[in-house]
Chain A
Amino acid sequence: MPTNLITIARSGAASARAAIEISAQNIANAGTPDYVRRTLANSELVGSGNIDFDAQSAFSGVRIGGVQRADVDVLQRVVRDGISDLAAAQAEIAGLRVGEIALEETRVFETLVDFESALLLLESDPSDPALRTGTVEAARLLTQTFQFAEGSLEDARDLTASEVSAGIDVVNGAAGELAQINVALVNAREGSGGRAALLDARDAALKELAGEVGIETTFDLRGIAEVRMAGTPSLLLVSGNMASRFDAGFAASGSAQFEVNGTPLTLENGAMAGRARALDRLIALSGELDAIAANVITRVNNAQAAGAALDGSPGQPLFSGTGAADIALAFDQGALLALAQSGSLPGSRDTTNLGNLIASIGAETGPVAELDRLLLSHASRIAGSEATRDGLAIIAASNQAQLLRQTGVDLDNEAASLIRLQQAFEANSRVIQVASEMFDTILSLN
């Protein structure tokens, strides 16, 4: 049946051409993020029918099937979870880093130690006006540094809070996009290139979402996604064509509170959870710095109260204020420093009270030791988080590599396919030629 032969070969050639198109599409998108390799699902086409009395099957070549997209939902989910964990660690470290810079670069520890050294210097000659002035100026620098450090911590909080606000827009944008993709998926025909592109877009949106907040996703048969936030409680973010409104508010203390459609929830991972944790830590840091400043104020002012100034009058408080934000000098005359013990005569060079103050500042519960512990614990926390982050980064990268193995385009593979398909196309053409020659042979019979 030469005509049948021609039909079969034509369908084969068409199928080879279609497969080459898919290969070309794969090669073109070899570098496209979130692109999943496509393949063509072909099937044999056999026509059967009764002609006269003879039931017969008629080979009709190949049927060009739909565009297939590797189904890797489970792997995608693992990748998303890895991204959420990594993003949380990274966002937290970023926030903590700003806090570390605020504490270390303002040199608050060094300034406190300088103040201590200035006091120690006074021991040599407590009546020297130059040394007294130097000590008051060291105290002034200390107040300014505390305020500077507190201001820097406040800036760090503001920065993290603005990142939280920016993240809100990303989440709501991705959720809205997902709802629209869900609608489009309902109308997309199974096996069409458009549907595959929609699924790519769906996975990309989910990945973007996972970077900001941890999510739990389920798909129905048509690939429509339902997204829940991983948190307590687990709230619905996207269902069908409905996207809930994700929002964040800030408490008076400055800590972030998340809500979905007005229902509050605590997030487990994702960059938003990391930022919220960093924000809480920065707030705690401010509180601890405040406590240390208060410690300095109390210890110095108590010592002042227990001593006598250079003119023999009872010591006045050196610092005013209650914390790092409002610590200030109450006087700036060096003569008012109460270095001698209470009741000393004017001009006394007694240093009993000064010795007590130096011991009090350097004590195990004093501000120097407390500040060192604060810096040590914060730095250790960052170093620990960085170790965790590095581990999570390796996990995320290996998940991603695993996914790419299944979904990525292998150019060598595609090149081999091209050669194979080219040969298939040529072979089918040859079949047509053979059929035509057979036809000619029959027609030339006399």
Chain B
Amino acid sequence: MIQVSNPTRAFFERAIGQMAGLRGAIETSQTQIATGERLQRGSDDPVGASRLRALARLEGRGVSETENAGRLAQDLAQADLAIGDVIGVLQRARDLAIAAANDPIGANGREAIARELEQLESELFTRANSLSVTQAPLFGGTAAAPAYLRGPGGAVVYNGNNTSGAVPIASRTEIERGVTGPQVFEFTLAGVPSDSFAVLSGLAADLRNNAVNPATAARDALAGIDAAIDTANRSQTVIGTRLAFVEDIQINQEERAIERAQQRSAIADTDLAETIARLQQTLTALEASQASFARISSLSLFDVV
């Protein structure tokens, strides 16, 4: 005989299954609240997890780019200082040249000026070999230190190369690391290539040379010193512009980092208000179903047998 009924075990299993489902939902909410993470595993939301990975990668790149920008700003600031010193040295040389050109000075005076000019040329050489914090030459391009060498005859020779290299500090944005030595110290004077060192040492030599009229030599040298100051000034402007650009990008990097963090949070973080409300709702449902289960299961015909 087939009898269709509502068997006791089916009732209990259904009730247990329903309550277990509610408890599972509560545990999921609880884990989300406790960990603060909406996704516990990639399979919870495969596409979301993939976007999170892309964001994590961007964040990693962002950290590197911020670090790069910081280092670049440091290098540029140092180059800026070094060129400032170079201009100071050249200014002093200019003062000396004017003095030599205008004032009637004796042999001793000329000798003193010549010595000071040599001293200035040597200081210029030191500045040209300035190193960054990490001991890399500031004006040697991408080549190794030293940027400038002194040749056998005392002449200063450029030892670096003409590429300064670029640093990526944002996606598709690279900024050149600095300026090369020739950009700071070399220029053409009346169609002839010359450099700051040659101008200073040349004037010193002329002042010592009795065959040359010191005033004329000094006046001629003034043009060279002016060209040297111009060149250094131009480089300083270039460096200053790049520094300003780097600072702009640093501000931009911070904004993008915040934006990435927001995107990440939108995908991965638990929405506390929503989750807590859902948890409360599920808790209420569980409590109600437990109470009704207890009442219904206590109903039995056996009470009246």
Interchain nearest-CB distance for B127 vs A (Å): 20
Q: Is B298 an interface residue (CB 8 A)?
A: no
CB nearest neighbor in A for B5 = A410
A418 interfacial contact with B, CB 8 Å:
yes
Q: How far is the CA of A203 from the CA of B2 in the complex (A)?
A: 18
Write the A399-439 contact mask toward B (1 if CB under 8 angstroms, else 0).
01100111111111101101100000000000000000000
Cross-interface CB contact of B1 among A39, A118, A349, A405, cutoff 8 Å:
A39
Any B CB within 8 A of the CB of A116: yes
Say whether, besides A411-B300, A415-B301, A123 and B167 are in contact (CB < 8 Å). yes
**Which of these binds chain B: A147-155, A160-168, A272-280, A380-388?**
A380-388
Taken residue by residue from 49 to 69, chain B's Cβ proximity to chain A (1 for < 8 Å, 0 otherwise) reads as 110011011001101110110
List the one stretch of B6-14, B112-120, B188-196, B280-288 in contact with chain A.
B6-14
Q: Provide the bound-state CA to CA distance between A386 and B17, in Å.
A: 18
Cross-chain contact A116 with B60 (CB below 8 angstroms): yes
- In the complex, are the beta carbons of B2 and A406 less than 8 A apart? yes
Report yes or no: A117 in contact with B7, Cβ–Cβ below 8 A. Answer: no
A37 CB contact (under 8 Å) in B3, B41, B60, B168: B3
Interchain CB contact under 8 A, A413 and B3: yes
Asked if B144 lies at the interface with its beta carbon under 8 angstroms from chain A, I say yes
In contact, B142 and A348 (Cβ under 8 angstroms): yes
Interface pair A415/B305, CB less than 8 Å apart: yes
Judge whether A124 and B144 touch: CB under 8 Å: no
Give residues of chain B (27-60) contacting chain A, Cβ–Cβ below 8 Å: 41-47, 49-50, 53-54, 56-57, 60
Question: Which residues of chain B come closer than 8 Å to A121, judged between CB atoms?
Answer: 64, 67-68
Given contacts A350-B163, A411-B300, A415-B305, contact A31 B56 (CB under 8 A): no
Give every chain A residue within 8 A of B141 (Cβ-Cβ).
Answer: 349
Residues of B149-180 contacting chain A, CB below 8 A: 163, 165-168, 177
Residue contact A419 to B305, C-beta cutoff 8 Å: yes
Task: Identify which of B9, B47, B50 gathers the most chain A CB atoms within 10 Å of its CB.
Answer: B9
- Nearest A residue to B50, CB-CB: A376
Cβ contact within 8 Å between A409 and B8: yes
In the complex, A345 has a CB within 8 A of chain B:
yes
B side interface size, CB within 8 A: 55
Beyond A114-B60, A349-B136, is A380–B8 a contact (Cβ under 8 Å)?
no
Cβ–Cβ < 8 Å partners of B5 in chain A: 405, 408, 410, 413
* Chain A residues with CB below 8 A from B6, complex form: 405, 410
Q: A109-B53, A120-B68 are in contact. Are A405 and B302 (CB under 8 A)?
A: no
Residues of A with C-beta under 8 A to B68: 120-121, 123-124
Considering the chains assembled together, what is the distance between the CA atoms of A386 and B54 in angstroms? 25
Count of inter-chain pairs, beta carbons less than 8 A: 170
Q: A125-B71, A128-B134, A350-B142 known; A380 and B10 CB under 8 Å? A: no
Main secondary structure of the interface of B (DSSP, over half): helix
A interface majority secondary structure? helix
Distance between Cα atoms of A357 and B53 in the complex (Å) = 21
Question: Is A30 engaged at the interface, CB distance under 8 Å to the other chain?
Answer: yes
The answer on a CB contact under 8 Å between B41 and A379 is: yes
User: Known: A113-B60, A347-B145, A410-B6. Contact between A383 and B46, CB under 8 A?
Assistant: yes
Q: Of B1, B46, B54, B56, which one neighbours A110 at CB under 8 angstroms?
A: B56
Task: Pick the residue among A30, A39, A127, A379 that contacts B144 (CB under 8 A).
Answer: A127
The answer to the question of B98 belonging to the interface, with a C-beta cut-off of 8 Å to chain A, is: no
Q: Are A347 and B143 in contact (CB under 8 A)?
A: yes
With a CB–CB cut-off of 8 A, which chain B residues contact A21? none
Closest chain B residue to A114 by CB distance? B60
- Residues in A neighbouring B50, C-beta threshold 8 A: 372, 375-376, 379
- Complex partner residue of A368 from B4, B57, B65, CB under 8 angstroms: B57
Residues of A with C-beta under 8 A to B57? 113, 116, 368
Whether A345 lies near B7 (C-beta < 8 A) is: no
Residues of B within 8 A of A408 (CB): 5, 7-10
Q: Is residue A216 contacting chain B, with contact meaning CB distance below 8 A?
A: no
Does B72 have its Cβ within 8 Å of any Cβ on chain A? yes
* A254–B17 alpha-carbon span in the complex (Å): 37
Would you call A100 an interface residue if the criterion is a C-beta within 8 Å of the partner chain's C-beta atoms?
yes
**Complex: how many Å from CA A123 to CA B65?**
9
Are A70 and B3 in touch, CB under 8 angstroms? yes
8 example contacts (A-B, Cβ-Cβ < 8 A) are as follows A70-B1, A125-B132, A380-B43, A382-B43, A406-B3, A409-B7, A412-B8, A416-B301
Interface of B with A (CB < 8 Å)? 1-10, 12-14, 17, 41-47, 49-50, 53-54, 56-57, 60-61, 63-65, 67-68, 71-72, 75, 132, 134, 136, 141-145, 163, 165-168, 177, 300-302, 305
A109-B56, A379-B46 are known; give 17 further A-B pairs, CB within 8 A: A30-B7, A68-B1, A117-B64, A120-B68, A120-B168, A121-B64, A124-B68, A125-B75, A125-B132, A349-B165, A379-B41, A382-B43, A383-B45, A412-B301, A413-B5, A419-B301, A419-B305
Q: Which 10 A-B pairs give the minimum distances between C-beta atoms?
A: A347-B144, A408-B7, A415-B301, A379-B42, A382-B43, A379-B46, A120-B64, A124-B68, A410-B5, A117-B60
